[in-house]
Amino acid sequence: MSELGQWQTLFVEEVAGEGAYLRSTELGEVFLPASELPDDLQQGDSLGVFVYLDSMGHATATRKKPLAQVGDFAFLQVKQVNKTGAFLDWGLDKDLLVPFNEQKPRMREGNSYLVKLYLDNASKRICASSNLNKFVGHAKPRYQLNDAVDIMVAAKTDLGYKVIVDDSHWGLIFHNRVHRPLYVGQQLNAFVLQCREDDKLDIVLEKQGIAKLDPLKEQILQALKDGGGVLPLGDKSAPEAIKRQFGTSKANFKKAIGGLFKDQLIDIEATRITLKTRP
């Protein structure tokens, strides 16, 4: 199915001096300019293209891939602001419009904003909106502890990082659960900690409980093997050193080595652990 604002594969119906005419069942004839034609293009060939409407309202294709397409969230920079609205750089020659009534907050040239790309119903023009509450938080979340989700960082707040969960829900990662740099627009795999009464989600970057610690145990054992049975981190090591080595908190590290000690796999000292040799 071919749609405006989407990357898709279309077939060549005619090759002419001004360009090629591609066939779309839904959109009809789609024009691809001569400057973008590959060498030796033939009638019946297929091409991967992005389709939009030009200033005259004609379906037009480009072989350039935009930074985002309709339905996506993206962190994009404003190239200019005029009486029509703000225009974002999204990797194509034709800039992406954000109408004034879709700007929250009002956009400034040179700044970057997280936006949602959508197709305007009346004009069929591809536009963007920074009023994200129009698109997020309307469906009731149905998750359980440790369900895997895809997130995008939307903002840094006093409490933590506000994130968009599975393109549909608002979530929050509290500051004390973040052990690596995060930035707006960053896409990550994460896990659900809980669903709150207001239908917002508490999100974490590591699985909780035993499921969270098992991979860390394996990392510690592998580091011990690589280090000849000795790891210069222990019960009293600095949290920063633990984070550099394993990308996790000291609390998680202590739980993991405690479990390995209980399994009689390691010995623990203040600033190092050693692998037990089996008889």
Handedness of CA 121, 125, 126, 132 (dihedral sign): negative
Q: Does domain 73-133 have CATH number 2.40.50.140?
A: yes
Query: What does the pLDDT look like over 72-109, one tens digit per residue?
Result: 999 999 999 999 999 999 999 999 999 999 999 999 99
Mean pLDDT, to the nearest integer, of 101-125? 95
Counting residues of the chain whose pLDDT is more than 90, the rounded percentage is 77
Query: What does the pLDDT look like over 146-194, one tens digit per residue?
Result: 899 999 999 999 999 999 999 999 999 999 889 889 999 999 999 999 9
What's the topology of domain 210-275?
Arc Repressor Mutant, subunit A (1.10.10)
Where, residue-wise, is CATH 1.10.10.10 in the chain?
210-275
Q: What is the pLDDT of residue 1?
A: 43
Q: What is the pLDDT of residue 176?
A: 86
- Could you say which architecture CATH assigns to the domain 148-204? Beta Barrel (2.40)
Phi, psi (degrees; rounded to nearest 5) at 91: 90, 0
The bridge status of strand 126-129 relative to strand 85-89 is: unpaired
Q: What is the pLDDT of residue 262?
A: 85
**Does residue 71 carry a pLDDT above 60?**
yes
CATH superfamily of 7-62: Nucleic acid-binding proteins (2.40.50.140)
Where, residue-wise, is CATH 2.40.50.140 in the chain?
7-62, 73-133, 148-204
CA 209/CA 252 separation, integer angstroms: 10
Query: What does the pLDDT look like over 213-251, one tens digit per residue?
Result: 578 888 999 899 899 999 999 989 999 999 999 988 999
CA 258/CA 17 separation, integer angstroms: 73
Phi, psi (degrees; rounded to nearest 5) at 32: -120, 120
Average pLDDT, the chain: 92
pTM: 0.75
Distance of CA 46 to the CA centre of its chain: 30
CA 57/CA 68 separation, integer angstroms: 21
Query: For residue 104, how many C-alpha atoms fall within 13 Å in the half-sphere facing its CB?
Result: 9
Q: How confident is the model at residue 211 (pLDDT cuts 50, 70, 90)?
A: low
**Does residue 2 carry a pLDDT above 60?**
no
Q: Residue 128 forms beta bridges with which residues?
A: 117
CA 18/CA 27 separation, integer angstroms: 20
Q: How confident is the model at residue 259 (pLDDT cuts 50, 70, 90)?
A: confident
